[in-house]
Amino acid sequence: MKYKLADLRINYDFEGLNEKKIDKDPFKLFDKWFKESVDKKVFEPNGMTLATVDANGKPSARIVLLKDISKGGFVFFTHYTSRKGKELQKNNNAAAVFWWNILARQVRLEGSVEKLSDQESDLYFNSRPRGSRLGALASNQSNTIPDYAYLIEKFNQAADKYQDSDIPRPENWGGYRLVPNRIEFWQGKENRLHDRILFTKVENGEWKIERLAP
């Protein structure tokens, strides 16, 4: 190794967060930050690391794409029979992280995950590019396959089958909504004195705002 990992560091110098001045609704603050990440051309700003746990409490994480914010939650789509789908079926507690490196910003979510209705999943599935819809049919996500050629073969079979008709949403594919009860906004600051503002949902549905040590 030609470099020392311990020596890799950046001193952040960004405008901070003032808990007395920010919006008291974390969803509005998230929307503001998200729009700024788009304006700054962050690569895949809707990419979020989703962490789930299995029945034994063993965690796993992967990147998924945020596709909507509705009904108090963050929406993503996947196969119900994937590893994350199976884990969410047994334990619907999950966490997610957004990292917008250009702005030195991070948003952490913790909460429970619920399935979207068939109507919501159908609506999004039918809006996807044709290739993406065929890909959802071809892939039995997270399951072992012999090689990449097998996947291409399944894709081509689906393309031939539905070349003159609508592509149906697979029964094992659909949407989920992560409904957070904790949302933390992290802003990188100079000398590692980062801003961390935590929103915690309380019994009356409002949000308690606290500052955390970096």
Residues identified as active-site: 192
Query: How far, in Å, CA of 121 to CA of 46, rounded?
Result: 18
Q: Which residues contact 199 (CB under 8 A, 6 or more apart)?
A: 26, 182, 183, 184, 185, 207, 208, 209
97 contacts 48 by C-beta, under 8 angstroms: yes
Between strands 93-100 and 68-70, the pairing is: unpaired
**Hey, what amino acid is at 197?**
I
From the number of C-beta atoms within 10 Å of its C-beta (0-12, 13-18, 19+), residue 92 rates as middle
